[in-house]
């Protein structure tokens, strides 16, 4: 149909079979056959003849508008392929905050490299405001941060909502009640994430809101190290739900305890990037693929 659609478009724009015939280097009978074939596929006439003049039917007008969209889309596709071929861009620098470095980034890198083995991915880490600066200064192509960013020079794409979860050694005696409430965190031995990160701020806001005073034994900037120390220290921790994988809990003999108030400690993990026009076609493609991996903003307890 593409060839017939092209012939149809030329006839409409030339307003003459003779001119279209000369431009396409096709005989008029050949043009007529192609239009007849297109009309047969569509199931409706495209032209009505008024004297020596051709006039589009309503279906013909709709078909012409559709043909123009197809032509523009094809040109955009060819331009993108040309840009991609010219740049040969296979390097992607991702800035990740300390939280997303441990929660979101590993799975994201695995997904990208599985689909595009040619990508050379580099990762830089820092606090959220440092990642924002790196992306703004074009020192990182994209940033993955555990918050929503309002910056007129950047675009922020929400990926998913996350919240704090209470994690305990499976054999730890919790309470005589058999269940835990938010006030039970007071006095509880805990290992917390280091200060200065979004999730530590979120944790401290929780403690302030409910006037909680846990027994903080350690502050560490590694989720993995925190989990490994829980049994040794007979302590609990508060970590992002997005980090809690079933196999990870099983391997470390841990459990997640549900407390209603923790579900309200939400942070939105987002992707940030500079103006799309300044990005190479390959990076724009990868951004779209990452965003498509999180089709709707949702809680990350999957």
Q: Determine which of 4-8, 61-65, 193-197 has the lowest per-residue pLDDT on average.
A: 193-197
More confident call, 97 vs 1: 97
Residues 249 and 284 in one domain: no
Provide the mean pLDDT of the chain: 87
The count of residues in the chain is 302
Query: In this structure, are residues 281 and 87 in contact, taking their beta carbons and an 8 Å threshold?
Result: yes
pLDDT at 124 over 80: yes
Would the pLDDT of 234 be above 50? Answer: yes
pLDDT of residue 90: 73
Residue-range definition of the domain harbouring residue 53:
2-87
Measured CA angle at 24 (ends 23, 30), to 5 deg: 130
pLDDT-based confidence at residue 301 (cuts at 50, 70, 90): very low
Residues 148 and 288 in one domain: yes
Please say if the pLDDT value at position 209 is more than 70: yes
Per-residue pLDDT averaged across 11-19, rounded? 88
Q: What is the pTM of this model?
A: 0.61
Q: Which residues of 89-109 are buried (b: 16+ CB within 10 A; e: fewer)?
A: beebbbbbbbbbbbbbbeebb
Query: Any idea which of 12-26, 192-206, 288-302 has the lowest mean pLDDT?
Result: 288-302
pLDDT in the model for residue 296: 52
List of E strands, 221-297: 237-240, 254-257, 266-273
254-257 and 47-50 strand pairing:
unpaired
Alpha-carbon distance of 199 to 239, in angstroms, equals 8
pLDDT computed for residue 298 by the predictor? 43
pLDDT in tens, 130-162: 999 999 999 999 999 988 899 999 999 999 998
67 burial (CB, 10 Å; 0-12 / 13-18 / 19+) is buried
Residue 228 lies in a domain: yes
pLDDT band at 87 (very low <50, low <70, confident <90, very high): low
| Predicted pLDDT at 299 | 41
Confidence band for 198, pLDDT divided at 50, 70 and 90: confident
Last residue of a domain, one of 87, 102, 118: 87
Tokens of 158: 């929400």
**Domain-ending residue, one of 71, 87, 103:** 87
Q: Is the pLDDT of residue 120 over 90?
A: no
Same domain, 154 and 285: yes
**Percent of the chain having pLDDT more than 90?**
46
Position 54 scores a pLDDT of 83
Residue 300 is assigned to a structural domain of this protein: no
Residues 151 and 6 both lie in one domain: no
CATH code where residue 214 lies: 3.40.190.290
Contact criterion met (CB below 8 Å) for 96 and 125: yes
CATH number at 32 reads 1.10.10.10
User: Is residue 299, in this structure, part of any structural domain at all?
Assistant: no
Per-residue pLDDT, averaged over 181-186, amounts to 94
| CA separation for the pair 272, 132 (Å, rounded) | 8
User: Could you tell me which residues are beta bridge partners of residue 164?
Assistant: 240
Question: What integer pLDDT is reported at residue 297 of this predicted model?
Answer: 46
Collect contacts of 224-227 with beta carbons under 8 A, ≥24 apart.
Answer: 224/102, 226/191, 226/192, 226/193, 227/167, 227/252, 227/254
Domain presence at residue 230: yes
Total domains in the chain come to 3
């Amino acid at each position: 149909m593409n060839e017939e659609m092209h012939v149809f478009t030329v006839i409409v724009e030339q307003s003459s079979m003779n001119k279209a015939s000369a431009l396409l280097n096709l005989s008029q009978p050949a043009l007529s056959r192609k239009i007849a074939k297109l009309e047969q596929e569509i199931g409706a006439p495209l032209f009505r003849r008024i004297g020596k003049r051709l006039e589009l039917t309503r279906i013909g007008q709709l078909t012409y508008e559709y043909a123009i969209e197809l032509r523009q889309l094809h040109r955009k596709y060819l331009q993108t392929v040309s840009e991609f071929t010219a740049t040969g861009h296979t390097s992607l620098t991702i800035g990740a905050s300390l939280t997303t470095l441990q929660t979101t980034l590993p799975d994201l890198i695995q997904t990208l490299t599985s689909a595009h083995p040619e990508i050379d991915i580099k990762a830089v880490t820092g606090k959220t405001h440092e990642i924002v600066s790196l992306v703004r200064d074009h020192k990182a192509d994209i940033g993955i941060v555990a918050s929503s960013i309002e910056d007129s020079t950047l675009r922020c794409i929400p990926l998913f909502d996350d919240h704090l979860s209470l994690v305990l050694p499976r054999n730890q005696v919790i309470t005589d009640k058999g269940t835990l409430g938010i006030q039970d965190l007071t006095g509880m031995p805990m290992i917390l994430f280091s200060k200065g990160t979004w999730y530590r701020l979120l944790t401290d806001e929780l403690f302030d809101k409910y006037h909680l005073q846990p027994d903080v034994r350690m502050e560490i900037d590694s989720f993995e190290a925190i989990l490994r120390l829980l049994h040794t220290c007979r302590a609990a921790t508060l970590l992002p739900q997005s980090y809690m994988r079933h196999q990870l809990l099983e391997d470390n003999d841990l459990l997640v305890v549900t407390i209603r108030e923790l579900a309200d400690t939400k942070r939105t993990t987002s992707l940030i990037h500079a103006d799309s026009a300044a990005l190479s076609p390959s990076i724009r493609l990868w951004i779209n693929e990452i965003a498509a991996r999180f089709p709707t903003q949702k809680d990350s307890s999957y």
